[in-house]
Amino acid sequence: MFPLAPVPAATPPLLVIAHGSRDPRHAETVRALTAKVAAARPGLRVETAFLDFCTPSVPHAVHRLAADGVQNAIALPLLLTRAFHAKTDIPAVLRESTAPYPSLRIRTTDVLGPSPLLTAALERRLQEAGLHPADRATTGVVLASAGSTDPEARAVIAAIARRWRRSAGWRAVRPAFASAALPRTEDAVRRLRAEGVRRIAVAPYVIAPGFLPDRIARGAAESGADVLAPVLGPSPELATLLLHRYDEAAAPSAGLLSA
């Protein structure tokens, strides 16, 4: 699944920018994912930075690249939807961080989702949680995301749920949100149960553990969901997707904005 070709010396480093969390599991999971990316692409320099709570910060990571004489790099927002952090926070912190280094140019990739690779990762996690292909016709899935006030991001989650149901043959796939929007995970589970769905699985559409994923898990438990999948974490599909986004941005014809 991974591209294993060695990387030329002039290849720009990859700077993965995660949200960050006070929960130490978050940074551990992000670092496990970026380590998998680095192992899959020998010679590619992969740096990890966080917007909040964890170290290194984005300014620190940018300073380190500049101090090493890097002139071109690619920043990848470790985000599943294009909402406030992707539209505002990350562009702003990159502009501020690179301002002292006029010779350093950083291009920013698109966010990770939507992508068939993310759907494949969700399928993997549900299978790991005990669901089997024969269960699909009688199982309803709650696609539980962190949530956003951005209507575009919420619409993307709803569209993913519709496409996933059609392509995979689940009895139903319903979106839910841990914050900022409704329905909550527990409400989506209860609605499916009221509709007569026999088996209900909750699939967290989040990358790493933390406060909101824990809220999703509590909602699944309180409402009697039959299956709770793990977060996406350092799945091979997610690592491959990071490399795909990097390759898109590194292509000579890429028309991405510089920071």
Sequence ranges of the domains in the chain: 14-112+235-250, 130-228
Q: For 130-228, which CATH class?
A: alpha beta
Q: Report the pLDDT averaged over residues 151-173.
A: 96
What's the pLDDT tens digit per position in 52-104? 999 999 999 999 999 999 999 999 999 999 988 889 999 999 999 999 999 99
Q: Report the pLDDT averaged over residues 123-131.
A: 97
Does the CA dihedral 249-252-256-259 come out positive or negative? Answer: positive
What's the pLDDT tens digit per position in 209-238? 999 999 999 999 999 999 999 999 999 999
- This prediction has a pTM of 0.92
Q: Considering the chain, what is the average pLDDT of its residues?
A: 94
Is residue 9 very low, low, confident or very high in pLDDT (cuts 50, 70, 90)? very low
How is domain 14-112+235-250 classified at the architecture level of CATH?
3-Layer(aba) Sandwich (3.40)
Q: Annotate the chain with DSSP letters as a single string.
A: ----PPPPTTPPPEEEEE---SSHHHHHHHHHHHHHHHHHSTT--EEEEESSSSSSBHHHHHHHHHHTT--EEEEEE--SS-SHIIIIIHHHHHHHHHTT-TT-EEEEPPPS-S-HHHHHHHHHHHHHTT--GGGGGGEEEEEEE---S-HHHHHHHHHHHHHHHHHH--SEEEEEESSSSS--HHHHHHHHHHTT-SEEEEEEE-SS-SHHHHHHHHHHHHTT-SEEPPP-TT-HHHHHHHHHHHHHHHSTT--PPB-
Evaluate if residue 3 carries a pLDDT over 60. Answer: no
**pLDDT at site 252:** 79
Instruction: Indicate if 130-228 has the same CATH topology as 14-112+235-250.
Output: yes
